[in-house]
Amino acid sequence: MKLDAVDVIVTAPPAPGWGGRYWILIKLTTACGITGWGEAYAASVGPDAMRAVIQDVFDRYFAGENPENVERMFRRTYSSGFTQRPDLTVMGAFSGLEIACWDILGKAHGRPVWAMLGGLMNERLRAYSYLYPMAHHDIASFWTDPDAAAESAQDLVARGYTAVKFDPAGPYTMRGGHMPALSDIALSAEFCAKIRAAVGTRADLLFGTHGQFNTAGAIRLGQAIAPYDPLWYEEPTPPDNMAEFGRLAAALPMPIATGERHTTKAEFATLLRAGVSILQPALGRSGGIWETKKIAALAEVHNAQLAPHLYAGPVEWAANIHLAASIPNLLMIETIETDFHAALIKSRITVDNGFVTPPTAPGLGIEVDEALARANPFTGDTLHLQMQDAPCDYQNGNNFQGGAAD
């Protein structure tokens, strides 16, 4: 087999945009006519520029190559431009292309991807979801309404979920880590208290942040939510200073989780050395399936677990599921249950009573509705997600919009 052509489809989920403003789907085709699908997680450039990066990486390192040679294509791409270091955008492009190679290989051999990664370790995958507004909730106020969040948590638990995630802790700004407002600390504790009261011991609380805080501020916030026993405290400080996660791990009783904005084993190894105990790689950014399998092995020897991150489309979700099915140190996987997510892969993978069963069909086990993806093009000029320019408001409070892209 030889890789022959690449096509990139940028599709936009309907408002309110659960999963981000757009998803970058990659269609690879071999000279013998086998098609594979991948997905690149959002990078630091817009979709048109990302399309050009994906094409460039394909032309340089994938075109004419056997899709089996994943390691060789990784080393070529990782070293691109005489760099040989993690590059978020280039590795995002590589990740999507690499996932598509595994889909091709599975289809060529008539086996699911997990079967080529060491076989099936986990027959059922524990899933979690963000707390999203229910039909009767006001979307604008939901993110700062602990009673609505508790109601949403009860709904998820009633549907079988055993873990719920929420992030009420204030703004995510381009100004870097800040000291949280006392109002944000108080609101975060109230969210934890009301959600814990609503779900009891039926579900773990996953407290999300997005690198908002400086280290001292993250510790203050962590101390305030610690009495509610969250399973993890997610990315409390900016991702660019990985050693600081060690100070958090030493100062707080709950596990520290991070990884959605990191890439390759080079960065994840640094996180493990710092004391992070839950890694959250996004496979459309972390280096693809094979590189993340290596990350899982590194985590295993540090007695750490993986919880693959998902704020993207269902192709990355499928890749997460195949990796998760094959590793011994899986904690859980993230899900996004929307009609558009399901329709794009023709409901070939579903959540059943809070768990996902790995597919047994060849490749990723999905069928991408290409016509639907093309019928919903992204036409905006914003990025997948964006930080706000304004700083933390210490007088009037903050309303961070959580999982909403718009």
* Domain spans in the chain, listed from the N-terminal domain onward: 3-112, 116-363
> Of 79, 87, 121, which is closest to residue 327 (Cα–Cα)?
121
CATH class of 3-112: alpha beta
- The pLDDT score that the predictor gives to residue 403 is 55
Compute CA 294 distance to the chain's CA centroid, rounded to the nearest angstrom.
Answer: 17
Dist. CA 351–CA 162, nearest whole Å: 12
> Of 303, 298, 308, which is closest to residue 99 (Cα–Cα)?
308
Burial label for 16, CB within 10 Å (0-12, 13-18, 19+), is middle
Dist. CA 7–CA 292, nearest whole Å: 24
- The pLDDT score that the predictor gives to residue 20 is 92
What is the topology classification, in CATH, of domain 116-363?
Answer: TIM Barrel (3.20.20)
Q: Which two tokens stand for residue 94?
A: 């590589």
Dist. CA 261–CA 74, nearest whole Å: 19
- The pLDDT score that the predictor gives to residue 16 is 84
Strands 3-11 and 305-306 come out as unpaired
Q: How many residues does the chain have?
A: 406
Could you list the pLDDT tens digit for every one of the 406 residues in the chain?
A: 999 999 999 999 998 889 999 999 999 999 999 999 999 997 789 999 999 999 999 999 999 999 999 999 999 999 999 999 999 999 999 999 999 999 999 999 999 999 999 999 999 999 999 999 999 999 989 999 999 999 999 999 999 999 999 999 989 889 889 999 999 999 999 999 999 999 999 999 999 999 999 999 999 999 999 999 999 999 999 999 999 999 999 999 999 999 999 999 999 999 999 999 999 999 999 999 999 999 999 999 999 999 999 999 999 999 999 999 999 999 999 999 999 999 999 999 999 999 999 999 999 999 999 999 999 999 999 999 888 899 999 999 898 776 555 5
pTM, to two decimals: 0.97
Contact (CB, 8 A) for 239 and 282: no
